[in-house]
Structure 1
């Protein structure tokens, strides 16, 4: 039986590592190129990273969910000098990354073993310019990082003009996604999602990247990047997003649910 959590090396590119968790590829790391992002949802988060401030300006970034530190590597490469902290509950994952996919020399990321919710509750106010939530429990997004209580905490630690990005996944009737988005709209005046149309319609399971801020989002820049991607996706915001989630009550600690499991046939998402 194969390990539930492991790195698989690409047979053609030995320094390309695929992080596998419960049979699902959740991240890919290129040890030769720390800016490499294979997962489409990570590329979409990177669109916000690139547009959040002028090019190469360092940012204070909090990563809720360390994964393989793929996004932290990207930030360190494209915005050198950024202060980054990554939060991860899985000690085995932290040790696996340190042993098999260590950070490049000169890249500094503070890694804390704690829960995303606890990290937000203990962080000082106005301490980060960007918070990224990419948290899994196995292959599912846990409920406790989607409700309004958690999101108010995220907003508390964001500096004025800061941005929030979260990786969500759903399919079918979107019972997980729509309440999560409604909760974001309860907390921030500006919210947008980046996703393929078939996923938003519930025709297939997939990732949806949601972004939010207290100031206007860089919608034009996000749309350009999404339209020019290898697998183009849509940016939905404003009245269109309100219509999309109409009737969905904002997720709370009392009502939030975890995302559905990906189909067995889906090895990466």
Structure 2
């Protein structure tokens, strides 16, 4: 989020934690219990990290593109104590407000860098992260610059051998935007891909969140499907992304665009 685009931030407490609402859009939920993941896409991201990386409590190095409530980073700090994490979040005022409303745990190794994802990724060393997690939003939409082939290529180079790229992308029925990002992942050197979403989103019944997974070395989609079935959300996985996204063109810097707007801003991601 660029400085000129800063949006009003609200913190809404409920019985389980604090919701971070930016510009009227629920950005994240920071639970009192780090293992209680209220938003389905955060639970999907956590399940991928738990299964596709060495199992907890082993430490892993994770780079997050987008910070908001730092919910996933807090979860990783809880289940994998001592794991080094870098968060690329340009809105320093938001980060400071979040940390006041919901302080980070003692002994954490979460380092927030006040920079955009496309700039911050360029400063990272090759093969320095076991996972790169894209979860960045401005005005309820994924910024254009972080879904381009150029960005994805750099992100793939940041991954260690066997590392995994995860992206939370919002899209409308048909998932044409997600297909273009998936095509970019393949061209960036991460040809093994999967899509994860609740059944209604995956079947094209509504606008919503899709977690896109990319790897250079393969994804155990059978075991991942088993893991996802344990969640309290009706979740599905699509492993035939190569066939499904055939014909889709990667987004590039020349034709970059943000993800499609939600039909009902401020409500589509509310629990």
| TM-score normalized with structure 2 length | 0.91
SS at the partner of 1:176? helix
CA distance in 2, matches of 1:66, 1:122: 17
- Of the three residues 13, 34, 40, the one matched with 1:9 is 13
Distance 1:55 1:99, change over 3 A: closer
SS at the partner of 2:26? strand
1:49-60 to structure 2, matched below 5 A, reads 49-51=49-51, 52-60=53-61
| Residue 126 of structure 1 pairs with residue 130 of structure 2 | no
Report what 1:164 is aligned to.
Answer: 165
Unaligned ranges ≥5, structure 1: none
Report what 1:190 is aligned to.
Answer: 192
| RMSD of equivalent CA atoms | 1.6
1:1-269 to structure 2, matched below 5 A, reads 4-10=8-14, 13=15, 16-31=17-32, 33-51=33-51, 52-187=53-188, 188-237=190-239, 240-264=240-264, 267-269=267-269
Unaligned ranges ≥5, structure 2: 1-6
CA distance in 2, matches of 1:128, 1:249: 27
CA distance in 2, matches of 1:136, 1:165: 15
Count of residues paired in the alignment:
261
Do the aligned partners of 2:127 and 2:161 also contact (CA within 8 Å) in 1?
yes
Distance apart, 1:90 and its partner CA: 0.9
Do the aligned partners of 2:140 and 2:265 also contact (CA within 8 Å) in 1?
no
CA distance in 2, matches of 1:219, 1:71: 21
Report what 2:4 is aligned to.
Answer: none
Do the aligned partners of 2:25 and 2:265 also contact (CA within 8 Å) in 1?
no
CA distance in 1, matches of 2:55, 2:173: 38
